[in-house]
Chain A
Amino acid sequence: MPPSIEFYCPCLASTPHPPPPHLASSSYSFHPLHNLFFCEECDAIRCNRCVMVEVSGYYCPNCLFEVPSASVRAEKNRCARNCFMCPNCRNTLTVVPSDPPDTGAAIVNTVGEPPFFLYCNHCRWDSAEVGITFEKPTGLAAQLQKYEDSAPESLEFERLKEHYEPHLRASPSTGPAAPHSHHTHTNPITAAASSALARDIPGVGKYTPHSSSVGRNRSSRNKGNYNEVPDYRARVEIGSSNFTMGGGGETDVDLMKHLEDMSEIATLEQRWENSWMTSLQTGDLKPLRIPLHSKKSKRCPSCRHILIKPEQKAQSVRYKIKLVAANYLPAITVSLPHLYAVLAAMRKPGKTPQLSDIESTMHAGKTYSFQLSFTNPLYDPIQVRLHVQRSLPSSSMAEDGGGPSEKRRPPFSVTLPSSAFPIAAYAEAWEYEDDEEMFGVEEDDFDGGGGGRGGGREQGRGRTKTIGILERRANVTVIGGEVAISKEARGNIKFNMLVSYTYRSDDSEPSEEQSTPSRAQVQNREPEMKTFSFYTAIDLGTIIPREEHKSDAMEY
């Protein structure tokens, strides 16, 4: 694993400080920079776990038809054109005609001979096996949907909907979810369903997501209404004999008893794609209409401003609104210069460098330098200050380390330049420079000695200067740091780092001007200067324990 860096989204924590990086749970709070969003209104990082997701359009992933949302419901969220999924291997099925009769070779029917059936050209499954053939090669989805809709569960569901429909229409609309709610799917139907569940099954209430204050208010307000709904009587009794295939009843037990071949039972994955419970037998699998995909727009969970809004066209990869963190926060890459030295050495005798060989070359008891390269995405220069979160003499390290003496000392210590350092502004022009010589000349005189790029330079510099600004070019600044690994250390060198950067906000983000009064606290001496801080987790790689430890471990 090459060294990596991930960015912190504070949505899961109650404090602004991230959990210690070696805890397994911390990985849920850290994300690669390109997966994060940035809300300008709240001045905060947002991640995929905390944003509110709304569907902005549906399309079929096979025929790429954009399905209007009105017909999505009628077509049961599946493609109503000629797109089918193989129930056996999930590949797309093709419509094939039967073999033409041998005698009349002259009659060339362009569409082929009926009956038509669906054929998988990956696993060779065909729908004739399960007795599904078609007279015409068109409109197959409608025929299949008819079959789907006649399933007892489907009919039951329709009846349930009919039963509750007048009540839902009568009940006052709950309106859009409250601004601070994380539950994006609160609509009258789910609210009714969950509160009905909470009422009918004791103990469920406290596990439903609506136990938040918002949900409670709503359900208590509506409670009176639900009691007025007349009782619903199921058309089919659960567990009745004609219905239990795959439902875990006697028939299934019977089937299992006489099972001779494992492949007779469909795998969970094969049954999972079905809307309704189906037979356990592989022989009963039916072709499936392909489930639709959706394009999603994303909103900030606290201020509801849109962070992502895709273009209407399904296959367009452009966005009308796209507030991604990569456009606001400096991108950081981590590298270990000694790895490149190893690489260069390996290359000399004519071997091809293999990344796997250099996976972990951090030995316990030694000191290594590492480099952080910051790239400024803003059109203004920024000042960056780094601060390493001291890792607490923690439990988990000691647990897998064993010895009690290890508890007191942190396994490694990180040194980074403590003073702020500048990164030049991003300029469009640099994008067009494909010649790499151009990079060097820009601002080489800042710390002297541009030198050639690549392994040689990093080696040479590593010896003369390891901490501080190593290089400045265009909108990139390279910072050197050092990590001293203690003799007893093991595990990964992983630490949290707080990055604070100060920027001028006047012309780069004009939309923020309205919101400046509310953000007065972040403004220091000059009215335009602002500071934004975020946490990152850096993983430099695995420490190779000392030899004696290694042999110890072997004995165990």
Chain B
Amino acid sequence: MQPPIYYSKAEYIETDTGNKVSRRATIAGPQNIILGGKTIISSGAIIRGDLRRTGPGHAVVISLGRYCLVGESCVMRPPYKTYRGNFNYYPMKIGDHVHIGANTIVEAAQIGNHVEIGRNCVIGKFTIIKDCAKIADNTFVPPNTVIPALSLFAGSPGHFVEDLPESTQEMVEAMAKQYYTRFQPDPNEPTPAPRR
């Protein structure tokens, strides 16, 4: 029932698997980034796939599942630490149906499925977010925090607020799918962009 969200066709690149990536997003090291399909990368987002683990061979730095949303001006960069004297980046894994609000910085190690992250949040290094968790707007999650499944976190530093309802999974899934359906090219746009 909600109205469509129109975007300028010239701005977004749509892949075969239905990913929609803004040309105004900064995607560094795209060969190290996996998008699961039907994932939207909004304009101004920065995804640092170039910050890879040292060593030879191919390395996946950031992987996103299906029906994800990376909001406007989000920064996604892999966590790093110095372990036994060696500085290294570590991969970031994000599940399906994960929405990340605008202006949020994510340095998590792992984000499960059906997770909602609000706007203007900071998700600290090596944070682990389990399935169906929710981070309220303007939350600061300190590094190394573990957010259990079906819990709402808010505040600075973010802490547990309440348990989410049992039907969270279905709701978030429906919301994420609906968002993708609503996100469509503007039909009234005067000049259709040349396909690349």
Contact = CB atoms under 8 A, between A and B. Distances in A.
A373 B2 CA distance: 11
A335 interface: yes
Interface stretch (A13-21, A144-152, A313-321): A313-321
B143 interface: yes
A123 B142 CA distance: 10
Contacts of B54: none
Contacts of A452: 187
Interface in A303-335: 308, 314-317, 319, 322, 324, 326, 333, 335
Interface string B128-171: 00111000000000111110111100000101100101111111
Contacts of A319: 166
Q: Which of B1, B38, B132 has the most CB of A within 10 A?
A: B1
Interface in B1-37: 1-4, 6
A34 B169 contact: no
A354 to B, nearest CB: 13
Interface string A119-140: 0011100000000000000000
B143 to A, nearest CB: 6
A452 B131 CA distance: 36
A453 B6 CA distance: 13
Interface string A51-93: 0000000010111100000000000000000000000011110
Contact of B3 (A34, A59, A121, A454): A454
B99 interface: no
Nearest to B169: A317
Q: Which of B159, B160, B167 has the most CB of A within 10 A?
A: B167
Contacts of B130: 64, 315
A285 B90 CA distance: 35
Nearest to A110: B84
A216 interface: no
Given A121-B142, A317-B131, A453-B4, A89 B149 contact: no
A324 B170 CA distance: 11
A91 B145 contact: yes
A460 to B, nearest CB: 15
Main secondary structure of the interface of B (DSSP, over half): loop
Interface in A169-214: none
B36 to A, nearest CB: 14
A56 to B, nearest CB: 13
A269 to B, nearest CB: 10
Interface residues of A, number: 43
Contacts of B163: 296
Given A34-B165, A90-B159, A64 B3 contact: no
Interface in A345-375: 347-348, 371, 373
Interface string A428-464: 0000001010000000000000001111000000000
Nearest to A331: B174
Given A90-B159, A326-B167, A333-B1, A59 B181 contact: no
Interface string B114-132: 1000000000000000111
Nearest to B149: A315
B132 A340 contact: no
B26 to A, nearest CB: 21
A340 B6 CA distance: 13
A143 interface: no
B148 to A, nearest CB: 5
B181 A94 contact: no
Given A308-B166, A343-B3, A62 B157 contact: no
A530 interface: no
Interface string B60-94: 00000000000000000000000010000000000
A35 interface: yes
A319 B132 CA distance: 13
Contact of A34 (B4, B132, B150, B171): B171
A63 B145 contact: no
Contacts of B131: 315, 317
B23 to A, nearest CB: 18
Nearest to A335: B1
Contacts of B1: 333, 335, 371, 373, 478
Nearest to A344: B3
Given A335-B1, A454-B3, A63 B166 contact: no
A335 B84 CA distance: 58
Contacts of A343: 3
A510 to B, nearest CB: 22
B86 to A, nearest CB: 13
Contacts of B132: 317
B148 A64 contact: yes
Contact of A316 (B38, B146, B149, B171): B149
Contacts of A333: 1
Contacts of A92: 142, 144-146
Contacts of A91: 142, 145, 157, 159
Contacts of A373: 1
A293 interface: yes
Contacts of A123: 157
Contacts of A326: 167, 170
A550 B24 CA distance: 45
B167 A324 contact: yes
A315 B148 contact: yes
Contact of B167 (A34, A314, A340, A454): A34
B95 to A, nearest CB: 11
B25 to A, nearest CB: 18
A501 to B, nearest CB: 19
A94 B3 CA distance: 47
Contacts of A335: 1-2
Interface of A: 34-35, 59, 61-64, 89-92, 94, 108, 110, 121-123, 293, 296, 308, 314-317, 319, 322, 324, 326, 333, 335, 340, 343, 347-348, 371, 373, 434, 436, 452-455, 478
* 7 nearest CB pairs, A to B: A122-B142, A91-B157, A34-B167, A122-B157, A317-B131, A61-B148, A333-B1
Given A91-B142, A315-B149, 4 more contacts: A61-B148, A340-B3, A452-B187, A453-B4
7 contacts: A34-B171, A61-B151, A64-B130, A91-B142, A123-B157, A315-B148, A371-B1
